[in-house]
Amino acid sequence: MSSFKQIVELIADDLTAVEAKLTEQTASEYSFVDMAVQHVVEGGGKRLRPILVVLSAKVCGYEGSDAHTLAAVVELIHVASLVHDDVLDEAAIRRGRETLQTKWGNKVAVLVGDYLHARVLSMLVARRADDPAMAILADTTQAMCEGEVIHAYKSGDFDISENEYLKIISFKTGKLIAASCTLGAHLGTTDKQQLEALTTYGQQIGTAFQIVDDVLDFTEDADKLGKNAFGDLREGKLTFPIIYARSVCNDAEKQTLEKVLNPNTDEAEAIAFVESLFQQYGVETHCLKAAQGYANRAKAALAVLPATPARRALEQLADYVVARES
């Protein structure tokens, strides 16, 4: 059995409770709203963020049901962000299903994202208004939006540096993954060292996750990904592998790279050129090695936590984030 399946099995009851919360908390009495909302809420996915909330809570000694509410909250923020991201990226498929804007148009997609946010706020208020979760998730959502705005603003900038890109992904992806860990930890402990350890763990796997996401866009097929392959390339999006390839290739290749990143270039030609660059400069290996570096730092951060099955699962999860194929 894969390590990811083992982790899911270890917390199967918790994940069932999270699914129930997700369904129950997003139901709408209006049937079309309900259909559109459930289309994305039920739409599969790895449930990485809920898993992180539950494991972070457990490793800090908490076993109660508030972890399920917070796990549902972070997943809903994630789903809302993907719904909006697919509008921005004009993506057709997500989690193996048609995206909302393909099925019902941009208006429905934007509004369903907003609806999910409203539900998140309502779920948080129904807990305790003075809970740190409120502030953490407000900051997180703001940073995600900032990350996406900067990425969109920089989309035509061929000179974006690796450091600038790492900052963007730490915002758009890392913040919510880190918040998932911090929120889980808060349920079980007030110990600053433990809280910081789990936040650092989340930030590090968040960066690893997005670097691997960027690589998979070039290396995996659409069926496995549950979304279109070469999506970033066709949008002319500069991601970690391209930024690296650009930093090591020669001037002529750099010019061609800039040309093939133009969405008007013939798709087959663009893919063939980028694949040849990947081969020549070992781009995939370089990126996965960088991602593994982040995963290793994540695992190292866990050293201050008790050596329990939950900590072991978090360690395995860090490696899974790099080894995954979808």
For ligand FPP, the binding residues (CB under 6 A) are: 77, 80-81, 84-85, 89, 91, 113, 141, 144-145, 148, 172-173, 213, 227, 231
Phi-psi region of 266 (alpha: psi -120 to 50; beta: other; left: phi over 0): beta
Alpha-carbon gap, residue 21 to 11, rounded angstroms: 15
Decide which of ligand FPP, Mg ion, none touches 219; Cβ closer than 5 to 8 Å per partner kind: none
CB of 258 vs ligand FPP, minimal distance in Å: 20
80 vs 290, beta carbon nearer ligand FPP: 80
Alpha-carbon gap, residue 105 to 254, rounded angstroms: 37
Other Cβ atoms less than 10 A from the Cβ of 286: the count is 17
125 vs 152, beta carbon nearer Mg ion: 152
Decide which of ligand FPP, Mg ion, none touches 145; Cβ closer than 5 to 8 Å per partner kind: ligand FPP
Instruction: Tell me if 221 sits within 8 A of 234, measured CB to CB.
Output: no
Q: Which of residues 270-299 bind Mg ion (CB under 5 A)?
A: none
Q: Which of residues 52-91 bind Mg ion (CB under 5 A)?
A: 85, 89
172 vs 311, beta carbon nearer ligand FPP: 172
Decide which of Mg ion, ligand FPP, none touches 318; Cβ closer than 5 to 8 Å per partner kind: none
225 vs 305, beta carbon nearer ligand FPP: 225
State the amino acid at position 197 in one-letter form.
A
Nearest by Cα to 216 from 188, 182, 200, 239: 239
Residue with tokens 């139901």: 27
CB of 281 vs ligand FPP, minimal distance in Å: 22
CB of 291 vs ligand FPP, minimal distance in Å: 14
93 vs 300, beta carbon nearer Mg ion: 93
The strand pairing partners of 97, in sequence order, are 94
Decide which of Mg ion, ligand FPP, none touches 144; Cβ closer than 5 to 8 Å per partner kind: ligand FPP
Decide which of Mg ion, ligand FPP, none touches 322; Cβ closer than 5 to 8 Å per partner kind: none
Contact residues for Mg ion, defined by CB under 5 A: 85, 89
